[in-house]
Amino acid sequence: MKLKFLGTRGGVPVSGADKSYGNSTSSVSVVLNGVSYIFDAGNGILNFETNLKINPAASQIRIFISHYHFDHLLGFPFFQPLYSNKFEIKVYLPTFGNIMGVEALQKLVSPPLFPVDLAVLGEHVTFLDFKPGEMIFDGEAISVETKLFTHPGGVCAYKLINGAKSIVYLSDVENAEANTIKDLVEFCFSSNLLIIDSSYSDEEIVTRRGWGHFCISDIHLLAEELTKTAIYLFHHEPSKSDERVEKDSFLLRSRYRNVHIARQGDEVYIE
Ligand SMILES: [Zn+2]
Ligand SMILES: [Zn+2]
């Protein structure tokens, strides 16, 4: 499995030489058996190589949306493979309560917010609604486990499973329930890699409870348990410079050598 961090920033795209950990919002790709699995469609998705150069060899694309906040969708209507029938694209959309995924996406991709609506996309694009907790199967070898976590409006965690190897993606989550950490440890147990919201320092969280994000102490609790999982800090708060991202997580990374900062453009291989 080859994983690439396409966009690592939370909230809004940023610019500046001091933001080298990432300027584009959430998106991660995993290429597996020639199929591309993309988690979230922040403007980072526009860094996906197939978007830059149409490559018919990579014609199978699966997109998994974690939730419908703008920073996780803003690249979607600009993703070029959606407009080319050289691709077969499945878009997986979690249902939260009575909010159907396609309806949420349609709000963004329709006038007056966008010039055209989803109806212009050809039959090569399929939208699939599911309830978090359901298992998604992709062929015989690949499955994706899903689970609901706490975030305003809800968020879906994904575990991409290929035989004994697995990767967990959970961008945007708050430690607001008594069992959040326990549930997440259970969900990730034996996974090779976890991509996790690390938006706030322990000082910042004090005034930001209810905003839907983890703080560094939450990741201490995870790292304590998930000793064999590579943990990547993700969804960097938009105002944070590289120095702040490094400083906020310094003690965490010193104590747990399996904790790393996700940097946009970096690739990780899981064999
Ligand atoms: Zn977000
Ligand atoms: Zn969010």
Predicted local confidence at residue 56, as pLDDT: 56
Domains and CATH numbers, the chain: 2-262 (3.60.15.10)
Angstrom distance (rounded) from CA 145 to CA 136: 6
CA 11 – ligand 1 centroid, Å: 5
**Alpha-helical runs (H) found in the chain:** 49-52, 101-108, 180-188, 216-225, 242-248, 250-255
Cβ-based neighbours of 115, under 8 Å, separated by 6 or more: none
* Ligand number nearest to the C-alpha of 9: 1
CA 194 – ligand 1 centroid, Å: 16
* Ligand number nearest to the C-alpha of 67: 2
Cβ-based neighbours of 204, under 8 Å, separated by 6 or more: 215, 237
CA 213 – ligand 1 centroid, Å: 9
Give Rg (Cα) of the chain.
18
Residues, CB within 5 angstroms of ligand 2 (ion): 69, 172
Name the pTM for this structure. 0.96
Angstrom distance (rounded) from CA 216 to CA 219: 5
Residues, CB within 5 angstroms of ligand 1 (ion): 10, 71, 172
* Ligand number nearest to the C-alpha of 154: 2
CA 119 – ligand 2 centroid, Å: 26
Cβ-based neighbours of 36, under 8 Å, separated by 6 or more: 29, 30, 48, 50, 58, 60, 61, 62
Predicted local confidence at residue 58, as pLDDT: 64
* Ligand number nearest to the C-alpha of 26: 1
Question: Tens digits of per-residue pLDDT, 188-228?
Answer: 999 999 999 999 999 999 999 999 999 999 999 999 999 99
Angstrom distance (rounded) from CA 90 to CA 108: 18
CA 11 – ligand 2 centroid, Å: 8
Predicted local confidence at residue 150, as pLDDT: 97
- CA distances 141 to 14, 144, 258, Å, are 38, 10, 28
Which is nearest to 148 in space by CA: 134, 138, 137? Answer: 134
* Ligand number nearest to the C-alpha of 234: 1
CA 141 – ligand 1 centroid, Å: 30
What is the length of the chain? 271
Residues of the chain with pLDDT under 50: none
Sheet holding 230-234, edge to edge: 135-138, 142-149, 155-162, 165-170, 193-197, 230-234, 259-261
> Does residue 141 contact residue 135 with C-beta atoms inside 8 Å?
no
* Ligand number nearest to the C-alpha of 44: 1
